[in-house]
A and B are shown apart, each in its own frame.
Chain A
Amino acid sequence: MNMIDVRVAAIEQVTPLIKHFKFVKEDGSKLPPFSGGSHIVVALDAEGRTYRNPYSLMGSPTETDAYHISVRRQENSRGGSAYMHENISVGMTLKITHPVNLFTLAKMAHKHVLIAGGIGITPFMSQIEDLNRLGAEYELHYAFRSYKQAAFVEELQKACGNKLHCYSDSDGKRLDMDALLSNQPLGTHVYVCGPSPMVVGVLETAKNLGWPDSNVHNEQFLAPPVGESFKVQLAKSNLEVQVPAEMSMLEAIEAAGVQPEYLCRGGVCGRCELSVLESDGGLEHNDHFLTESEKASCKKIMPCVSRTKGKRLVLDL
């Protein structure tokens, strides 16, 4: 995979838990333009291992003197977000992937309803730039715990004006999904990014109101869950790899020197799909990509987020 070398140009503590990082190219040239909703994967070499974490790109997709990401420090971090918060400082160099978009705006939509919860605001930070540039009709609904913990409210007010609607738990203001989705013009698309209950809520409400699936979009990156340690045997490479409890299978395979293909590292895109030749226990499928029947067949696995319940797994790699 072609990686881009970037330098950390600025870091800002946006809220007690969220840091905003600004990346520029070493030679001062522009970074590639992208489409609203794209993410990059940031590769971090630390403590003898490589973290590769996906983050949504914020800011203008067309004015790309710099890339912007925001990282929320996760409570049960496997180390990626904690490392970003504690060890990355201005002037350091990092490797990032080219932007990938798994959360695109529907170009033919007549209207866009964007729904964000907490740090889920980040993909919308670039999408609103695209929507403003195209003069599209949209509204952004942003729910968070309190104004103190909410990132970018001022920027959003400036960019979206009266299209922005904020909902703060601490003020007791709630987003009524049913009311929001039951009176939208034909051709409206709804997009949601946020905590799982919010995403599920939007998907279910839209379904119950008769919205076609293709008008409903969500982004729900998974952080690779921690689990038990197990062994993976790579049949083609003739290698045995120990997957530690706090590492994903994909990370462990990479650390052993094998480079499977990947894109999102969050169980969404399907690129890292591997064939399972043998397993001594059931598979723990955590991805959103495989169908239920594929999951049940135990023949395929997405090593970026999934694991085995047993002790040993043989993969066709």
Chain B
Amino acid sequence: MERGYWIKSKPIYTSLVWHEKATSHLVLASGIGGMAALKLFQQMHPAQPVTVLYARYAQMEVDYSETLKKVVPDNLHVFKFEEDLLTELKSIMPHMRMGLRIYVAGSEGFIWDVAKAVKPFGVDDAHIMKEQTDTLARNVYCVHCKAVTKSVTTNIVACCGCERMLFVRDHFSRNLGAYMGLMVDAESPGELPAIEEIYP
């Protein structure tokens, strides 16, 4: 990899830290992301109202729900699946007001599912604090057939839509929450570079 290189189209994920200026907080976590939520409460218990939504089963089967129940004062909601969390999120968003701060921790796929869910309510992803946990797996958008192949851990992957072998480019679309996948052997059919797991 070229020195000094970074993916300019992808935001840099950080560790979650409370915003001091806020009127309320909303924490969304999935799987190992529960640890990031717990760490937040190690920093402090904010004076403003806090809501925590946690999905137990993400990419890996880790469960912080019991610990969270002990730490989060009230307004903790635990879900079995990320989809259920997202449904609840959409139902509470209309009641939120300016001054709400949103924090999300989980896989990159989960982070952008959340960003997509809150966007219609006027929240720009730039204002969501994001921590990537669990896995480096990438969602890959096939530029040829427009299908998104989820949780890709390898440099090259078969498209779930058109079955072309896609090279996973370091170019990220926040709108799609996915990296660009481009047919790898269009110029030399069947000739594939080595397929390696590089996003464990």
Contact = CB atoms under 8 A, between A and B. Distances in A.
B21 interface: yes
Name, among B22, B98, B121, the residue most crowded by chain A CB atoms within 10 Å (CB to CB).
Answer: B98
Contacts of B186: none
Nearest to A211: B98
Contacts of A181: 98
Interface string A214-237: 110000000000000000000000
A109 interface: yes
A225 B101 CA distance: 40
Given A209-B98, A210-B99, A185 B23 contact: no
B124 A184 contact: no
Q: Is the interface of B mostly helix, strand, loop or mixed?
A: loop
Contact of A208 (B21, B98, B126): B21
A108 B125 CA distance: 14
Contacts of A186: 93, 96-98, 100, 121-123
A210 B122 contact: no
Interface string A188-229: 100000000000000000011111101100000000000000
Contacts of A211: 98-99
Interface string A274-296: 00000000000000000000000
B123 A185 contact: no
B96 A210 contact: no
A40 B20 CA distance: 40
Contact of B99 (A109, A182, A187): A182
A311 interface: no
B52 to A, nearest CB: 18
Interface string B120-132: 0111101100000
A138 to B, nearest CB: 14
A183 B98 CA distance: 7
Dominant secondary structure at the A interface: loop
A110 interface: yes
Interface residues of A, number: 19
A183 B124 CA distance: 19
Contacts of B93: 186
Interface residues of B, number: 17
Contacts of A215: 98
Contacts of A212: 124, 126-127
B169 interface: no
Nearest to B127: A212
A208 B21 CA distance: 5
Contacts of B22: 209-210
Interface string B63-103: 00000000000000000000000000000010011111100
Nearest to A206: B98
B19 interface: yes
A191 to B, nearest CB: 14
Given A182-B99, A186-B98, A210 B121 contact: no
Contact of A214 (B96, B98, B101, B126): B126
Given A183-B97, A188-B98, A215-B98, A209 B21 contact: yes
B98 A184 contact: yes
B100 to A, nearest CB: 7
Most A-side CB within 10 Å, residue of B19, B122, B127: B122
B122 A110 contact: yes
A210 B21 contact: yes
12 contacts: A182-B97, A182-B99, A184-B97, A186-B97, A186-B121, A188-B98, A209-B23, A209-B99, A210-B22, A211-B98, A214-B126, A214-B127
The 9 closest A-B pairs by CB, nearest first: A187-B122, A210-B22, A210-B99, A184-B98, A110-B122, A212-B127, A210-B21, A186-B122, A209-B99
